[in-house]
Structure 1
Amino acid sequence: MSSFISDQDFTTPAHIRLEPVEPERPAGRGARNLPLTIVFLAAVWLVVSAVPFGYIGAGRYDAFWSDAVTGIALAVATIIRLLNPRAAGFTPIIGGLAGWLLVAPLVLQYGWSASTANDVAVGVLILTCAALGPDEKP
């Protein structure tokens, strides 16, 4: 007999009841999402990296805003993709943002500096992870 309020069996003592069986999680899901997790961490790094590289102290507001906006957009796209694996169209967005990181030093004329090396390294990492990431299922 079960209660209409809690839908639990209240006639059988608790020590006799069977423990509920948890559903099995799909194998390898964490490994499949590893490239997207790396992209998310790289996006967070882009936003945070303005402090150690001193973009604002050097008067490079264009580099600061480029990396901040790109990092936030990458983080949002990656979170949506991680939370909804069936969401389609995010790999080209992530790839396009990584491509911007690769050409931003040329377009914004950073010159050869720590910010250029940071953008190129993070851009290559994100492009690699986007290529190795899980396939999109429309």
Structure 2
Amino acid sequence: MIAVSPFVLLDMFIVLWRNIRMMDQISETYGLHLGYWGRVRLIRNVFHAMLYAGAAEILSDAGSYALDAGITGKLSTSAAQGLGAGVLTSRIGIKAVEQCQLIDWVTENKPSIINISTQILEDLNGKLK
């Protein structure tokens, strides 16, 4: 959704909305509610992701004007921006799961950002073919 949106504030709002919704869904799935301090820590991470989305939009706009990028340059910048926000969102999701779980991860089953980002790229590649 971020890659399609041309407005900085809309990008930041989308990131905020999706991440808070994801945190609520994870806590509902586990049947636990996040505590106050746990939610504060996660929301702080959400604000970092919002800042990334806003800064990436501003930098991509400035870069396209400075380099006079064509449509492919703008599309690749938007795709990279969306992937970056997706990786940050997955990081927040992993943190939310860790705070809602009662039992620690088994080391070989613990999700990592590398695995998640690889899966996102494979899914994207499959949809483009």
TM-score normalised by the chain length of structure 2: 0.36
Structure label with greater radius of gyration: 1
> Which structure's residues are more often helix, by fraction?
2
TM-score normalised by the chain length of structure 1: 0.34
